[in-house]
Structure 1
Amino acid sequence: MSTNVNGGGRKPPSAATNLIAGGGAGMMEALACHPLDTIKVRMQLSRRGRQPGMPKRGFLRTGIEIVRKETPLGLYKGLGAVMTGIVPKMAIRFTSFEWYKQLLADKKTGMISGKGTFLAGLLAGITEAVAVVTPMEVIKIRLQAQYHSMADPLDIPKYRNAAHALYTVVKEEGVGALYRGVSLTALRQGSNQAVNFTAYTYFKEWLRKWQPELEGANLPSWQTTLIGLVSGAMGPLSNAPIDTIKTRLQKTPAEPGTTAMQRISRIAKDMIRQEGIHAFYKGITPRIMRVAPGQAVTFTVYEILKEKLERSGPAALTGERYEE
């Protein structure tokens, strides 16, 4: 199935529009879904599966334990790192996706194939992973992995906040530590956005065909939310093992004389030997519960803000020339 990169004659959004609309959408998504991400990370780092006789801890119980031992604020550990990177992350995601689509589309007809849309999403995911996501996630995971109680002033954590974690990691491990797991992060983000954007684009195109009266206008918000939710759930199901290995790799310091690929291989082998194949899917439930509604929020808010900016924003936001 081919789609028109210009959305039926409408010009693609400018970089400024993507910066504001994507950044706003990302901030809303982070605030709404970060607790589920913290639960997911704790489940992926859990070693309870290695201990015979220990009951498995599901996402609800994990969340309750975090609140009980670390207060509700414990669910928001690492949020500062996410909020710092969310605006450039979303701006890069939407801007690069549009740019790659224009590059891969037929120059005469403006049409792009399904494979082209998939490749544009893949490249957009890799771009955001290298530029923003990997350093942001290293800091976020270090903060989320700390089991200290935020209610006890005497329980002093190693990393006090995102800025302190960034300073400490760079000081103790070097700048390279911020890019630990970059290959896995790029693979995860690339596959996520490839599946996500392709599904969302197709669903959006089908809904427009069924509702010709919406030609040239945005879909209703409830429809954008629904297709964002469905497309958002597809990525985690396709790359859960990658995300779990990445989380464990980024949580620990580097080992002298050991390459990243050697550590990835060892982590994977240890997980299979000690915890079984199911360990690769630890945290899959909260990850879907976090990513799917997160994408629903992202696409819905992005489409709303983009439309408002294109209707009333200055020429710099719409990409048009201003005329009296």
Structure 2
Amino acid sequence: MQTEARVGVVVEGGGQRALNSGHVDGGARKFSQQQQQPLHQQSQIGTVSQLLAGGVAGALSKTCTAPLARLTILFQVQGMHSDVVTLPKASIWQEASRIVGEEGFRAFWKGNLVTIAHRLPYSSVNFYAYEHYKKLLKMIPGLESRRENMGADICVHFVAGGLAGITAASVTYPLDLVRTRLAAQTNVIYYRGIWHALQTISKEEGILGLYKGLGATLLGVGPSIAISFSVYETLRSFWKLHRPGDSTVLVSLTCGSLSGIASSTATFPLDLVRRRKQLEGAGGRPHVYTTGLFGTFRHITRTEGLRGLYRGILPEYYKVVPGVGICFMTYETLKKLLADITDRS
């Protein structure tokens, strides 16, 4: 979720414009002028092309980092149905070896089809909602986009991105839950696919069962975007002011990766609770957490300690850096390709 939110605001949503419109010193103005042409091209490819580029970029990024994403989920749910004292101290390499030995190499991509099915509409809704929320916010007196009003411009992008992330997460949440349950399956296969999982969950747990963990998800989307957006823009502004000649791609990739690490560190406990809530009652298992979101936090810290809230953080770190890089590069490449096609037609 952290990567999706960050890409939705910084890359897909046009976070560069918020930065470019706010600087008043010479170095920043020069950088802003250099960026005007690419931004003009971006607006020329059209909404459909932008949605397509964002969806494909997100799907490719998720597919490439699927093994690390599955390892993260498996570590996150450790201790949910087991005594923490008896849990083996498995490393990433040991868990990866176990998956290959017991389930086969293809098991690293278990649940990836539903991930792609989730990523395409998520990116589309996120992008569409972001642009509309931004227009609505700019109609509020005092939030109009003006070069001298950097604070208002950043506020618009910040709030619009947060609302877009919440909207997209709410609309596509059942697919996110199904993806978690498919990825968490090891040797015992209870859900045979996307449609079977949706039917089984609805039948056994009711329609609301498809929204287990939504509260933790929505609570995580806001802080995740806030942290990643702030870190990204601050680092990127500092870098371009002091080294304006460096490659824009290099700057964006580096700052985006660092913002992802910061965001993941801050919001990982919410993501862990979200995953565990999504698995409540899966496969007919008894419920573990029955006291709500904050009760779940207390239960985990009491039984597993504070470290229990960060189970799986290492594969999450390893996933963030290439995930942002692949998504950014794919998105920018597709935008240029689609812009060229549009110009020729």
Does TM, scored on the shorter chain, surpass 0.5? Answer: yes
| Partner in structure 1 of residue 170 of structure 2 | 130
TM (normalized to structure 2)?
Answer: 0.75
Q: How does 1:104-253 map to 2 (within 5 A)?
A: 104-105=137-138, 106-107=143-144, 109=146, 112-113=150-151, 114-132=154-172, 134-148=173-187, 157-206=189-238, 209=241, 220-253=248-281
Over 3 Å counting, the alpha-carbon distance change for 1:53 and 1:30 in structure 2 is closer
Does residue 305 of the first structure (1) align with residue 334 of the second (2)? yes
CA RMSD of the aligned region, Å? 3.2
Tell me by how many angstroms 1:63 deviates.
1.9
Shift of 1:82: 0.4
- The answer to whether the aligner puts 1:57 opposite 2:90 as a matched pair is yes
Matching of residues 81-92 of structure 1 within 5 Å:
81-92=114-125
Equivalent residue number for residue 97 of structure 1: 130
Partner of 2:12: none
Q: In the alignment, residue 169 of structure 1 is paired with which amino acid?
A: I
Once residues 247 and 200 of structure 1 are traced to their aligned partners in structure 2, the CA distance between those partners, rounded to angstroms, is 26
| Amino acid paired to 1:245 | V
**Which residue in the other structure is 2:304 paired with?**
275
Letter in 1 for 2:205: E
TM-score (norm 1): 0.80
Q: 1:263 to 1:213 in 2, by over 3 A?
A: closer
Q: Which amino acid aligns with 1:271?
A: I
Which residue is 1:4 aligned to?
21
Q: Would you say the 8 A contact 1:231–1:292 is kept in 2?
A: no
Shift of 1:213: 7.2
Task: Please give the alpha-carbon distance, in whole angstroms, between the structure 2 residues aligned to 1:102 and 1:204.
Answer: 25
CA distance in structure 2 between the aligned counterparts of 1:225 and 1:311, rounded to whole angstroms: 24
Q: Which amino acid aligns with 1:109?
A: R
Deviates more, 1:85-94 or 1:270-279: 85-94
Name the SS of the counterpart of 2:294 in structure 1. Answer: helix
What displacement does 1:209 show? 4.8
Q: Is the 1:117–1:197 contact (alpha carbons within 8 Å) kept by the matching residues of 2?
A: no
How many residue pairs get aligned? The number is: 301
Which amino acid in 2 is paired with 1:235?
Answer: S
**In 1, Cα distance between equivalents of 2:237 and 2:337:** 21
Structure 1 residues without counterparts, runs of 5 or longer: 149-154, 316-321
| CA distance, structure 2, for counterparts of residue 4 and residue 285 of structure 1 | 36
* Distance in structure 2 (CA, Å) of the matches to 1:179 and 1:18: 29
Counterpart code for 2:257? L
Distance 2:52 2:323 in 1: 18
Preserved CA contact (<8 Å) 1:42 1:145:
yes
| 8 A contact 2:114–2:175 mirrored in 1 | yes
How far the C-alpha of 1:146 sits from its partner, in A, is 1.3
Cross-structure match for 1:36 = 68
The structure whose residues are more often helix, as a share, is 2
Matched, 1:289 2:318: yes
Aligned ranges for residues 250-269 of structure 1 at < 5 Å?
250-253=278-281, 262-269=291-298
* 1:141 maps to amino acid: T
Q: Residue in 1 aligned with 2:47?
A: 15
Q: Do the aligned partners of 1:141 and 1:247 also contact (CA within 8 Å) in 2? A: yes
| CA distance in structure 2 between the partners assigned to 1:175 and 1:70 by the alignment | 31
The yes-or-no answer on 1:76 pairing with 2:76 is no
In 2, Cα distance between the equivalents of 1:182 and 1:112? 33
Shift of 1:8: 4.0
SS of 1:280's equivalent in the other structure is helix
Q: Which amino acid aligns with 2:301?
A: I
Change (3 A) 1:65 1:58: same
Deviation of residue 102 (structure 1)? 4.3
Distance 1:194 1:135 in 2: 24
